Amino acid sequence: SYLHRHGILHRDLKPANVMVIDGLEGQQVKLLDFGLAQMRSQRRGSLSVAELSGTLSYMAPELFLGREPTEAADLFAVGVIAYELFVGRHPFDHGSDAELVQEILAGEPDFSPLQGQPALVALVRRLLAPIPVRRPSADEALQALSQAAGLSPPMETAALRESTLQAARFVGREEPMAQ
């Protein structure tokens, strides 16, 4: 949510790029590896398949169709991660890369393992929606997840705003970012 409000698209969200640490205010989620990140203002329209960036199994369907990355593509990756966390496996069968892409484009994840958790199913289903405008914003997803878990939504604190993620936004990326 914080990144998107500041115009930053991560473009490679996956479990290896998410770290949970014990902080002063309890556990905190930190995002890592901003190597593919870009500012929203740097989007330039449609992409060719050769220009695709990210980890295939976490990429949103619209990216395979040549559309530019948006916040919704990051939220699709969050949906894949959430499904993996709650179900214990990837939402799309991926025997091969071609099968994985086809499943992401046209498949429907099996939500039966989440039976009895309607609020959670509704959220993950929205995050994995094949049409980007049907996905929630990061704020909406956080609110829905908090409700599904019976918790109060986390408050954005000064610690978050002053975190190393903000301070190290694009360190060492001046040359690639200028292109």
> Is 12 among the catalytic positions?
yes
Q: Which of 12, 74, 93, 97 is catalytic?
A: 12
Distance between CA atoms of residues 157 and 154, nearest Å: 9
Give pairs for 41-47: CB < 8 Å, separation 24+. Answer: 41/7, 42/177, 43/9, 43/68, 43/69, 43/70, 44/68
Bridge partners of 22? 27
Distance between CA atoms of residues 92 and 57, nearest Å: 8
- Active-site residues, by number, are 12
